[in-house]
Structure 1
Amino acid sequence: MRRSIFASLALVLAAMTTPVAAEGGRTREILERLENANRWRDHVMIVAHRGGWKEDGAIRWAENSRAGVRHAIALGVEMVELDVRASKDGEYVVMHDDGLDRTTSCRGEVKQRTLAELKTCRLVIEGTGQATGEVVPTLAEMLALTRGDVLVNIDNKLGPDHIAGMIAVARGLGMADEVIVKENVWSAERLAAIRAAVGAAGPDTRFMPIIADDAVEDPRFIETATAAFAADIVEMVAWRGERRQLSENAGPLFGARARAVAVRGDWHLWVNTYPIVNLPSGFVARGRGDELAVQAGFPEEVYGYWAERGATVIQTDEPKAAIEWLESNGYRIPYGLTN
């Protein structure tokens, strides 16, 4: 179609004012796969939990650290998960706990420290107690690090009212498209409240519902929730509960009806394989988690199991092991080879 000179000039001016991140980079390819789930159901995307902090069953990096994120990017993950809280003076920082004791050289609550004070807190590698050269990062700093390389999944530790503020940080960096925020959704009332918060954040907000099988079993509710947000992806929590042994039953969120709903809506099913401290192995993956894959040496019973039951996104503490096994067994398609 022939453009007028005015339309062409408008396009040139828009290109001049568009942030660099929007021009391309690996995130463009990842977003194409994210937004076209049905086209890419033979490719399993990997999310590095807490920014990527473990490998081979051991803690290697401080969680939510630049070093961990850089390593995850080098491995080829599609997304890093970052936990977000706020300082006393309202700045968004990346920190899992409400307290500083476990992961930094400081003590006390995050919300009781100003950003300047938090910038004196060095990140610590849990278990070894080794203090790194990194200090508590802001959300903006971490987003600047990931720009153009991987998507960011924000685990919002502050509640729905903060979704707009977090997206505003990403938008200010020209990265709203590269960030996905999430919240638990379990009822019509909760759905309405979250929908209002997401609407207030703006039309460029990417939102992912979290749905757990201890609260939701009806695929019709899943379909309603995904349609409400035009979601590209849904985090499914498959609780282990009291199960003592592995079962072939992946639960209602990965049953035939739920998978049919995902295909109809053209969205991805996400499963978590990371462990939770002091709880049974695979607690959020029906017993099939990273410990079984890596320490016990049965990756096919974890990464293969979930891929065969429709999961096209796996959040893991073992991104290296997951990627290597999935690639070796035909569950990942290299980037840059298809258009």
Structure 2
Amino acid sequence: MRAVLAGTASFFLALGLATSGHAGSRAEEILERFENANQWRDHVMVVAHRAGGLQDGKRRFAENSIAALRDAISLGAEMVEIDIRRSADGELIVMHDSWLDRTTDCKGEVLGYAMTELRKCHLVVEGTGDVTAEPVPTLREYLSVAKDKILVNLDNKLETADLVDMVALARAMEMEEQVVVKANLWSAARVATVKATMARVGQGFQFMPIMADDAVRDPAFVEAAGNAFAVDAVEMITWRGDAEKMTDTGGPLFSAKVKAVAVRGNWHIWVDTHAIVNKPGGFLSGGRGDEMAVAAGFPNEVFGFWAERGATMIQTDEPRAAINWLAANGYRVPYADVEEPVASVAGQADLSQLPVN
């Protein structure tokens, strides 16, 4: 992995060079492909949004749950994306919203609960209302299950300074290279600000930006930003906006010129097909999202479309459907059998082996 300055809140980073202690693990195999995009242009990596959990449009697991994490590992996904907040007493936890109402059987603000109180709040399967046996997980618990099996993208819902504790935790667990964080770049001024912030956070990180085509359309800026941070991937947003028609080209960030930039920089192009609440389908992918791929039954017009336009990473709510279709259609290169896959958890997460804080 190419070393650069440390990253910051809302940025996408793959941290540090893998240690010899993880040699031969599934995570090491994933890291090798993540860090060497040009050698793996024929393989599309799958990122499970909020750890995945959807199957055929129906939620099987609570979002951001360890049960969903275990399922993503068993499917062979390369990465899970999760959201990080703090409890009232400062514990780093995995939770998207600032309120507990939507995703747990508790009510009120997350910051109103100490960790011992959050232990009494159980995750809910959205859409069904089913209350699981899994309490709100800590980041430490989450990482302990993911370690050496899958990469973890931390979407920091806190302040920049909180990244220091997240990185310190991953480092203490000897898995900082398996953790990822992300944020947006859109101008030269923003690039300078991010570099300054990264310098304050510390050394040893590799930065990967997010770029959206409402602000970034120039391949020269994409290349300059990539070079500034020695990235391994760039997350590309093709806004659907109010358009009724889906994109025919992928937009300016999926042009031949940007793909050439990606090849010169040896980095992945990442696309988001997952849904956004209360927004039209494919809101981040020009109308070509999970709803079209799975509910409407046109996976080639989504997964195939983006793969043919250079995407080698797809973040989706439907990792099972994505992996199965990509593999069946020649967009996945099998990994070596370095370890037995983790069995899929059909219902609740098994917390018996997790550390209790």
| Cross-structure match for 2:81 | 81
Alignment partners' CA distance in 1, 2:137 and 2:315:
22
1:337 CA displacement: 7.8
Greater mean deviation of Cα atoms: 313-322 or 227-236: 227-236
Greater mean deviation of Cα atoms: 167-176 or 114-123: 114-123
What is the aligned length?
Answer: 321
1:19 CA displacement: 7.7
Alignment partners' CA distance in 2, 1:295 and 1:258:
31
Alignment partners' CA distance in 2, 1:52 and 1:229:
29
CA deviation profile, 1:189-237 (whole Å, cap 9, x unmatched):
3222222333333333343211111111112221222222211111111
Greater mean deviation of Cα atoms: 260-269 or 19-28: 19-28
| Cross-structure match for 2:173 | 173
Residues 249 and 235 of structure 1, relative CA distance in 2, 3 Å threshold: same
| Cross-structure match for 2:65 | 65
1:180 CA displacement: 1.0
- SS for the counterpart of 2:312 is strand
1:261 CA displacement: 0.9
CA deviation profile, 1:137-164 (whole Å, cap 9, x unmatched):
1111101110011001111111433222
Alignment partners' CA distance in 2, 1:112 and 1:85:
12
CA deviation profile, 1:236-270 (whole Å, cap 9, x unmatched):
11110121112312111111111111111100000
Greater mean deviation of Cα atoms: 324-333 or 199-208: 199-208
| Cross-structure match for 2:341 | none
Alignment partners' CA distance in 2, 1:337 and 1:104:
37
| Cross-structure match for 1:326 | 326
| Cross-structure match for 2:47 | 47
Alignment partners' CA distance in 1, 2:47 and 2:205:
19
Structure-to-structure mapping, 1:145-164, within 5 angstroms: 145-164=145-164
- SS for the counterpart of 1:274 is coil
Residues 187 and 163 of structure 1, relative CA distance in 2, 3 Å threshold: farther
Residues 21 and 289 of structure 1, relative CA distance in 2, 3 Å threshold: farther
Residues 147 and 26 of structure 1, relative CA distance in 2, 3 Å threshold: same
CA deviation profile, 1:276-311 (whole Å, cap 9, x unmatched):
121111000000000100011100000000000000
Alignment partners' CA distance in 2, 1:156 and 1:320:
25
- Structure number with larger C-alpha Rg: 1
1:66 CA displacement: 0.7
If each structure's helix is expressed as a fraction of its own residues, which one has the higher value? 1
Runs (5+) with no aligned partner, structure 1:
1-17
1:100 CA displacement: 0.5
Alignment partners' CA distance in 2, 1:199 and 1:230:
15
| Cross-structure match for 1:296 | 296
1:170 CA displacement: 0.8
Matched-pair contact (CA < 8 Å) for 1:64–1:82 = yes
Matched-pair contact (CA < 8 Å) for 2:35–2:232 = yes
| TM value normalised by structure 2 | 0.86
Say whether residues 1:29 and 2:44 are aligned partners: no
- SS for the counterpart of 2:182 is strand
Matched-pair contact (CA < 8 Å) for 1:167–1:205 = no
Amino acid corresponding to residue 128 of structure 1 in structure 2: T
- SS for the counterpart of 1:80 is strand
Identity of counterpart residues, as a percentage? 57
Residues 320 and 169 of structure 1, relative CA distance in 2, 3 Å threshold: same
Alignment partners' CA distance in 1, 2:20 and 2:102:
37
CA deviation profile, 1:73-118 (whole Å, cap 9, x unmatched):
0000000001111122222110011110000111111122222222
- SS for the counterpart of 1:160 is coil
- SS for the counterpart of 1:235 is strand
Matched-pair contact (CA < 8 Å) for 1:53–1:317 = yes
Amino acid corresponding to residue 47 of structure 2 in structure 1: V
Structure-to-structure mapping, 1:310-325, within 5 angstroms: 310-325=310-325
Amino acid corresponding to residue 52 of structure 2 in structure 1: G
| Cross-structure match for 1:256 | 256
CA deviation profile, 1:46-73 (whole Å, cap 9, x unmatched):
0000012211101110000011010110
- SS for the counterpart of 1:204 is strand
Runs (5+) with no aligned partner, structure 2:
1-17, 339-357
| TM value normalised by structure 1 | 0.91
